[in-house]
Amino acid sequence: MLNWPNCTNARDLGGLPLTGGGRIRAGALARSDNLDQLTDAGIAAVRAAGVSRIVDLRSVWECETYPSPFTHDDRWLNVPLTDPADPDVSTSDLFEQYRILIDDYPDRFASAITAIADAPPGGVVLTCHAGKDRTGLVTALTLALIGVPRDAITADYAITNLTEPRPGFALPTAETILHLLDHLDTEYGGPRPYVIQSGMTTTHLASLTTRLSQVDRQG
């Protein structure tokens, strides 16, 4: 976990393995709960981490009501994954909530992942409210696109279970995100065709892989 006071679900994804060798580069991609909780020390820690882009996945309403301390910083970019006008699916189970987002709003996911690929040199932070659902989905898709094995993707997603439960939030399980990845395979041919048909390009995908990957040296 990253020491970003007062965030409770901030972590660096560096070190996750890549199929065929290599790993995600330390400091290249992090995920977090709402940065509006940050203390002055937390804000300083984010700046010191070399972050060049913060992809805030919250709705415009959330960003206006609970503004990020980086709202007026060039690092901050709002890419809403949800909107208050969207149908209320909160009574559905977690997989069904995720499936609806994936099926109904592929352009939102493509935009969020493109924002990672197109970021200036430096680290990228994905953030939403709890750092679980919207951040979890974009993270899982990103990891799948650059070749992180599914067992590592599901393990990362389920780590949120180690943080303090919050009232009204269903805790994630590895099975939930695995089910979603299977859904992408069945309905779209996998994560790569899904984002390509939603607006990403092969150039974006190559940039994503290059900026996040580290090849292990041999010998």
List pLDDT tens digits, range 110-163.
999 999 999 999 999 999 999 999 999 999 999 999 999 999 999 999 987 555
Q: What is the pTM of this model?
A: 0.95
- Whole-number Å distance between alpha carbons of 159 and 37: 20
SS3 12: strand
Cα-Cα-Cα-Cα torsion 12, 15, 17, 23, nearest 10 degrees, comes to: 110
Going by pLDDT thresholds of 50, 70 and 90, the confidence category of residue 215 is: confident
Per-residue model confidence as pLDDT tens digits over 51-72: 999 999 999 999 999 999 999 9
Tokens of 110: 């493509």
126 C-beta neighbours (distance < 10 Å), count? 27
Cα-Cα-Cα-Cα torsion 163, 123, 25, 145, nearest 10 degrees, comes to: 80
SS3 76: strand
For 174-193, b/e burial (b = at least 16 CB within 10 A) is: bebbbbbbebbeeebeebbe
- Whole-number Å distance between alpha carbons of 81 and 64: 15
Strands 29-32 vs 11-12: parallel, antiparallel or unpaired: antiparallel
β partners of residue 126: 31, 55
Mean pLDDT of 105-110: 97
pLDDT at 206: 97
Instruction: Indicate the DSSP class of residue 168.
Output: T
H or E stretch at 55: strand 51-56
